[in-house]
Structure 1
Amino acid sequence: MATMSQTWSIFIAVLTVQLCVGKKSCAIWSSAGPVVKLGSSFEVFCTFNCSCKGSMYSEHPPTRQSHKVWNSTTISHNVVNITKNRTFSCHCSCASALDPCGQDISAGHTPDRPKNISCIYKERKVVFCTWNRGRDTYLRNTSVLWVRTVSGNHTNGPVLYKVSSKGTALPSASFNVSTSVQLISVWVEVQNPLGSEISITTNYTLNDIAMPSTPVLGPPECSSRECIIKVAQSVMTQHLEIQHRAEAETWTSYPDTVVRNSLVQVQSLKSYTMYNFRARSKFSSGLWSQWSTNVSSWTQEEAPAKELDVWYAKSDSDFKQRVYWKEPDISIAGGKITQYRVKVDSQNSESVCTNVSADARNYLVPFCANCEVTVWACNSKGLSPPARITSHHTKVRHPQDVLTVTVDNHTISWSKPETTLLSAYVVEWYPKGHKLEELRWVRLGSNDKHTVMTGIKPYECYEGAVYVFYNNISVSRTRFTGVTTLESAPEAGPSVQEKVEGNTVKVTWTDVPRGQRGGCITKYTIYLVSNGKNLQTYSISASDRSHIISDLSPAAYSLWMTASTAKGEGRAGQEVKFFIQQETQLSLLLGCVVVLLIVLFLLCLYQISAVKQRLLLFSQCLMLDVVPDPANSKWAKECTQEKGKMNLQLQPSNSTVTEEEEEPILVDVEELPKQSSDTCTPTDVSSPLPPQTSLSLLTEPATVLYPLTTYIKSFSHDSDSSDNTQTSLDTNITVDYISSHGPGNIDEEDQEDEYEEEFVRMMDFFPSHNIFKEPLEFGRKLTLDAVKIDCIDFFQNS
């Protein structure tokens, strides 16, 4: 009741002022005043100068607020849990010429007690103090620093000093003290419209808070392992601390750095490294100065201090071998690597040295069983120590050397062999089928028993091996496979090809594309359907790339494949179709077709006249190697002496023939009917060739013995001087063999000379003319020279 009376008294007073002034249309006020605590609740009242329908607004832009009507001239708005500064205004329709009234309400906190007062005594006899003012009050605060000093037995103060917070997050104040002051006491008072707070009193001895000025560092002068820095200070200090760090590293301190002639020497640095330096100083007692501004410089290069980490790999599919190396750490490289040098030593050839680009990380070397490869890193200062790798280590496999390798996610673990000769491990891993392209490895000590595979990609299948080295001479290897992460079923099937042979089909396939495998393939499945039904499946190992299906019945078949991982079977690949036929019918049909084609070809070829003529000449050459001269043969001389028989005596044609002749061989000759003569004397050369002439053993007509033809130049031998004698007979056409000499005009010596000349002509095996380029001439008269057949031209031109 008392509160309501006080409220109305304030209202009447405000209203009286407004009426006297006459410029506002209303009066507005808050029950909690213009400054309130954050989160508080209160009421805002508005009283108009006339009776009207009033309204209240807040926020920006102005928003009409709900209000309570007290009477015809007074309204109020209840504010609950205020969270920020707000402005309220009131409006009335009866006094449009007057301005509306308004009120700003500020919300904030009472001040926190200041704490953590820190004071320092600088060289110029100035004390500088800072403190923590606590949370933001969202109100205008007023702070002051109270200082009391003690000099000997005399105490001064307290003295108030203004506080400044411009340019810093912490409020601060500074004041001068005389050299006689030994002790100071400080505290802070802060206030705002909602209240005030005073900190606890802090006492300081000036020697304990004395701080020298910040040192100034000059530009460093560096070699490969140390830097010399010039330090400038306004007063001499007893302590100097230098710190340095490389890029992205933590600071390394030297708290008691020796200063000689204002120079500081910083050692144990890395070569070819950018270093930042800073420093601070301190008196024998008191506080450290602020850190100086950072200065930086590069250390110089030096030759690489350590050999490269080198490994090698052989391809499983071809004779390729690559040597790999890791980029050296900057602390090992000693500078900027300009190139790598690779040397291949072989027992069977000279050493080959090659310079490789600084961006390269591997080199393809010729595959050889006894090669040793050496790799160096090069910079502007020289070469690194040689790193050697060889592929002809002695392979050991003892029971105690066999590793038990386990794979957990992508962590490889193994049991340590029971031997004291163990020197190192090498663990390699790579995506399956991409060993040469994406090989990774790590070299470990003899006490390591596990490693984590890095660079593992999801939905990829990895394999590798663990190598155990024994004094770098012998090595054993244990393989592992099936390492993957985030596995899924394959997104595609294998690409299939089929080859049908009889009732057997050979199925070959390529692996699922790398990006669609979903992890490690565990098996393949072949699906075979005949005539749209009778589904058959074949489960195949993941390492196979072909499969033979035999004993298939004649039918139309469809075939497709799928791949599976540990997460399930993937999608089917493309479907292929093939047909199995009856093998016997197919073979018979193919045989008939081939024979028919050959017969038709020969018939068509035989219809060509030129071909037919050459075939006839070729057949005559095959039949007649040596044409006998019947006019000079013993058979012609003796055929009349013994009727019905002919004595044939073979005499060698070479010079080693013996004088004794073998006993004549009697050959039965069929008697033919008589013609017009009983003798075998040939017709006179001057007489014309009769249309039909007979040659007979008797005077009676005989069957035709020789064909009617013209014999082209040939080789002829007498039956007495030739080892081989052939006779060509034809019962349809006859011809008279005409001799250039009478049977009684050729003695034996002349006959042998003629045969020797014929033998010389026979040795001229390469004629100068072509029988197919010269026309064939047929005459009616024959001589012995014309009868002789020469088939050499035929073979030469064919």
Structure 2
Amino acid sequence: MFRSWPIGPAIILVALQISIGEKSCVLWSSAGPVVLNGSTFDVYCTYNCKSKQYIYSGSPPQKQSHRVFNDTTIYLKIFNLTSITTFSCQCEDSHAPDPCGQDISIGYPPACPKDIFCDYEIQNLRSGVVNCSWDGGQNTSLLHHFVLRVRTVSGNATEGLLQFSVSNKEPKRLSVNFNMSRSVDLISLWVHAQNSLGSAVSAAVNYTLNDIARPLAPILGQPDCSSRECKLKVEQSLNVSYLEIQYRADHQQWNSNTSSQTRSIGSLEPYRLYHFRARSKFHSGFWSSWSSNVSGWTQEEAPARALNVWIVRGPDSKTMTVLWKEPSVSISRGKITQYTVRVSSPSLNLIVNVSADSRNYTVPLCSHYEVTVWAHNSKGMSPPATMTSLYTEGKPLQDVRATMNGNESVTISWREPELTPAMYVVELYPEDFLLNEFRWVWRNKSETTADLSGIEPNKCYEGTVYVLYNKSLVGKTRFNQVAALESKPERSPSFEAKDKGNKVIITWKRLPRKFRMGCITQYTIYIEGSTGYHENYSVGASETTLEIKDLSPDIYTLWMTASTAKGEGPKSLKGKVPIKQDNHPSLLLEYLVAVLMVLLLLCLCQSPVVKQRFWELFRCLMLDVVPDPANSKWAKECIKEKGRLSIQLLSGGSTSTEKEEDTNLVDVEELFKQTTDTPLPTGDSTQLISRSPDADLTTLMYPALTTYIKSLSHDSDTNTTVDYISSDGPENMEEREDEDVFGGMSFLPSQSIFFTEMLQFDGKLTLDAVKIDCSDMQIT
């Protein structure tokens, strides 16, 4: 309910204010400056000006349709006002004094305070502090004044009334603290609330102070911890009946230990940072406030379990990398100081220690290996974690799928296999494998899904699920690529195009990862000719080359794009490739001509005349200097034979500068022996075996008919250098034609056709007769 002002006295007051000359007008409300929310009332304006008068309201001010009360006063009827509103009055006269105005506030009268609660914190043996709080009710947009009245009782006497005032515009939970002697047994209290629209009083609440007493919060000292237990020092100002100590490791729930005597906490985990707090209580009353937290580390123990280990093959397929995850505190039970890696195989036995910061180690790839990893702390080492390659490929999993779960995690699922598995391993890594982005998780045999978080947007992920039936039987299955917040590629790949005859070979590099914007599904190559030819080719995301065949002569324009599941990316820069007319004979025709030439050459080589002409050509390519047969070793040995060979020593075969004037003649005796069953020597075919004069001709090692020509110098019988000339008989010439004409020769070969024709087997023989002049040779 709001107050209404009498109209008569109000007009007299306004007239008095105007006569003083404060304003050109006075504005007031029939309900006062504060009204109940939703009220209907009148706003009056009294003027001292003679011109037209108006009432304005709102923000910005708007002229209202007013009513006339008398010659100097007008008024405005207000209906259901629900918000604070500003009203003003103004004259049209430009020389009139300043206008007048006022804010009309709205609100509610105060509600009755409720939920009064008090406690009594005993600070020493003589006194304590009483804290009382209450609910002031709803917000009324008005300033509230609260008065807490307290009546105390000590024994059978009433000691008096205490009052404590509080003002607040928002009557939320309000409180008052005041000292109270411990001699007081009972208190009775209530709250009085008041604002500009009314007042209210709460019901009285009675308390026995012992029932609301509570001690001060305990003070905890620094804990003294072993690996499984921490002991605490607790300071308390008064004797208490109960003590509760709570403890927790980081980010865990508080655990409680309540006792009147216990100051130690057991069953703790090694190498954990624990936080402690405490509170106390008298035999009756309330628990004290919690003490400040204190913290302490438990001591270390040797690691509890083996590491989580996995092995991947390097991108070069020549190395393998052993990976392990940093053990949790519950496994490490201390600060890891180092890791030990052992690799055993038929070709490698390696033991190496790596730093505590390492999470992988790369070794040469072995066909059969066993890898073991240990973790060390100050108290010992973990059990061994072993992986081996000695396993058989088992049946792979079916229905393996990867599905985005929101934008930051992916779920990999699979169907449970027919055989009972022992364990699953799920690999996940971005496309273009990088070791520092590789992740894997183990799943037990009862699970068929794995959730991996931390998926980056616009990045393509792939991976594999392994099923371990036992240590020697493993199956693996790759799953589909998946990406979060995928979109079209931002760029196209750069390519090169080369023409080769009537085809074009196009090569390109895969798009850099930051431009793919997801998983590339295909590349598309477009080709256009100047004569209207147009074609496009789609290839898989793993391809990097394309060959376009059977193109007609033209100038072709090429470009390409990359696509994801969200669509095709921008076009690349265009390139031009000319395909020219092929004026050269076909490759098949070239092969045919070459074959015919080879066949013709083979046919010509079968003719003896052609063979002879080729032989003449090869003989002319040999050295011009012919050794002197008179100086051969055979000539020395054959001197014992009967007969003499008359040979003229030519100056061309000697190193002497003197020219012989007379021709020296020697007798010639021809010795022929034909053998057919004597085996050929296995050594150099040009070596001839000498024989003694008395040897039987049937024991000669060369089966061919051989003529030995002896030559003795007429100048000396003792200092004679003897060489040999060996010639086959005419009937053996064709058999010797196929022998190597260059092997081991230090002299003209014995199978020369020309030499055989010139050599006569009767009469006298001179060096002039056996001299060979190649200058007369003609090759046709």
TM over 0.5: yes
Aligned pairs for 1:224-303 (under 5 A) are: 224-247=227-250, 249-260=251-262, 264-303=263-302
Cα 1:656–1:458, aligned 2, differ >3 Å: closer, same or farther?
Answer: farther
Cα 1:578–1:394, aligned 2, differ >3 Å: closer, same or farther?
Answer: farther
The separation in 1 between residues aligned to 2:712 and 2:22, in whole angstroms, is 180
Higher mean C-alpha displacement, 545-554 vs 514-523 = 545-554
1:190 and 1:197 in contact (8 A); partners too: yes
SS at match of 2:232: strand
The separation in 2 between residues aligned to 1:126 and 1:553, in whole angstroms, is 104
The separation in 1 between residues aligned to 2:437 and 2:542, in whole angstroms, is 21
Equivalent in the alignment of 2:371: 373
Paired amino acid for 1:412 = I
1:21 shift after superposition: 7.4
The separation in 2 between residues aligned to 1:555 and 1:751, in whole angstroms, is 90
1:132 shift after superposition: 0.9
1:471 shift after superposition: 3.7
Matched, 1:108 2:96: no
Aligned pairs for 1:611-690 (under 5 A) are: 622-628=622-628, 653=634
Equivalent in the alignment of 1:794: none
Paired amino acid for 1:579 = I
Matched, 1:171 2:175: yes
Paired amino acid for 1:385 = S
Equivalent in the alignment of 1:342: 341
Paired amino acid for 1:135 = Q
Matched, 1:137 2:104: no
The separation in 2 between residues aligned to 1:326 and 1:255, in whole angstroms, is 35
SS at match of 1:754: coil
1:146 shift after superposition: 4.7
Equivalent in the alignment of 1:779: none
Equivalent in the alignment of 2:721: 754
Paired amino acid for 2:474 = V
Paired amino acid for 2:373 = V
1:394 shift after superposition: 0.3
Paired amino acid for 2:582 = Q
Aligned pairs for 1:108-507 (under 5 A) are: 108-123=107-122, 124=127, 127-146=130-149, 159=161, 161-164=163-166, 170-172=174-176, 174=178, 176=180, 181=185, 185-247=188-250, 249-260=251-262, 264-315=263-314, 317-356=316-355, 358=357, 360-379=358-377, 381-382=378-379, 384-398=381-395, 402-409=397-404, 410-420=410-420, 422-434=421-433, 436-498=435-497, 500-507=499-506
Equivalent in the alignment of 2:577: 577
Q: Tell me, which stretches of 5 or more residues in structure 1 are unaligned?
A: 592-617, 634-650, 666-678, 698-719, 723-743, 758-762, 766-783, 790-798
1:243 and 1:251 in contact (8 A); partners too: no
The separation in 2 between residues aligned to 1:47 and 1:20, in whole angstroms, is 12
SS at match of 1:256: strand
The separation in 2 between residues aligned to 1:202 and 1:170, in whole angstroms, is 16
1:28 and 1:90 in contact (8 A); partners too: no
1:486 shift after superposition: 3.4
The separation in 2 between residues aligned to 1:12 and 1:520, in whole angstroms, is 85
Cα 1:175–1:486, aligned 2, differ >3 Å: closer, same or farther?
Answer: closer
SS at match of 1:289: coil
1:376 and 1:387 in contact (8 A); partners too: yes
1:84 shift after superposition: 3.6
Cα 1:203–1:655, aligned 2, differ >3 Å: closer, same or farther?
Answer: farther
1:440 shift after superposition: 1.2
Equivalent in the alignment of 2:706: none
1:467 shift after superposition: 0.9
Paired amino acid for 1:193 = S
1:120 shift after superposition: 1.9
The separation in 2 between residues aligned to 1:366 and 1:233, in whole angstroms, is 66
Paired amino acid for 1:190 = A
Paired amino acid for 1:626 = V
Paired amino acid for 2:108 = H
The separation in 2 between residues aligned to 1:24 and 1:319, in whole angstroms, is 99
Deviations for 1:512-534, whole angstroms, at most 9, x for unmatched residues?
Answer: 33233343333444444455433
Higher mean C-alpha displacement, 385-394 vs 545-554 = 545-554
Matched, 1:520 2:519: yes
1:368 shift after superposition: 1.5
Equivalent in the alignment of 2:759: none
SS at match of 1:476: strand
The separation in 2 between residues aligned to 1:13 and 1:352, in whole angstroms, is 109
Higher mean C-alpha displacement, 35-44 vs 231-240 = 35-44
Deviations for 1:337-359, whole angstroms, at most 9, x for unmatched residues?
Answer: 4544433333323423132361x
Equivalent in the alignment of 1:43: 42
1:289 shift after superposition: 1.5
Cα 1:580–1:371, aligned 2, differ >3 Å: closer, same or farther?
Answer: farther
1:653 shift after superposition: 2.1
Cα 1:491–1:17, aligned 2, differ >3 Å: closer, same or farther?
Answer: closer
Paired amino acid for 2:213 = A
SS at match of 1:653: helix
Equivalent pairs counted in the alignment come to 643
TM-score scaled by structure 2? Answer: 0.68
Aligned pairs for 1:602-613 (under 5 A) are: none
Deviations for 1:611-649, whole angstroms, at most 9, x for unmatched residues?
Answer: xxxxxxx998824252558xx79xxxxxxxxxxxxxxxx
The separation in 2 between residues aligned to 1:177 and 1:99, in whole angstroms, is 61
The separation in 1 between residues aligned to 2:488 and 2:57, in whole angstroms, is 64
Deviations for 1:178-208, whole angstroms, at most 9, x for unmatched residues?
Answer: 7684x65543221222112232444545454
1:432 shift after superposition: 2.5
1:31 shift after superposition: 0.7
Cα 1:575–1:226, aligned 2, differ >3 Å: closer, same or farther?
Answer: farther
Deviations for 1:752-771, whole angstroms, at most 9, x for unmatched residues?
Answer: 713479xxxxx9x9xxxxxx
Paired amino acid for 1:320 = T
SS at match of 1:753: coil
SS at match of 2:264: strand
2:136 and 2:173 in contact (8 A); partners too: no
SS at match of 1:428: strand
SS at match of 2:284: coil
Deviations for 1:203-226, whole angstroms, at most 9, x for unmatched residues?
Answer: 545454232222222333344444
Paired amino acid for 1:254 = S
TM-score scaled by structure 1? Answer: 0.67
1:303 shift after superposition: 4.6
1:127 and 1:177 in contact (8 A); partners too: no
SS at match of 1:622: coil
SS at match of 1:453: strand
1:29 and 1:45 in contact (8 A); partners too: yes
Cα 1:168–1:229, aligned 2, differ >3 Å: closer, same or farther?
Answer: farther
1:20 shift after superposition: 9.2
Paired amino acid for 1:453 = L
1:442 shift after superposition: 0.8
1:65 and 1:77 in contact (8 A); partners too: no
1:119 shift after superposition: 1.9
2:53 and 2:89 in contact (8 A); partners too: no
SS at match of 1:211: strand
1:88 and 1:103 in contact (8 A); partners too: yes
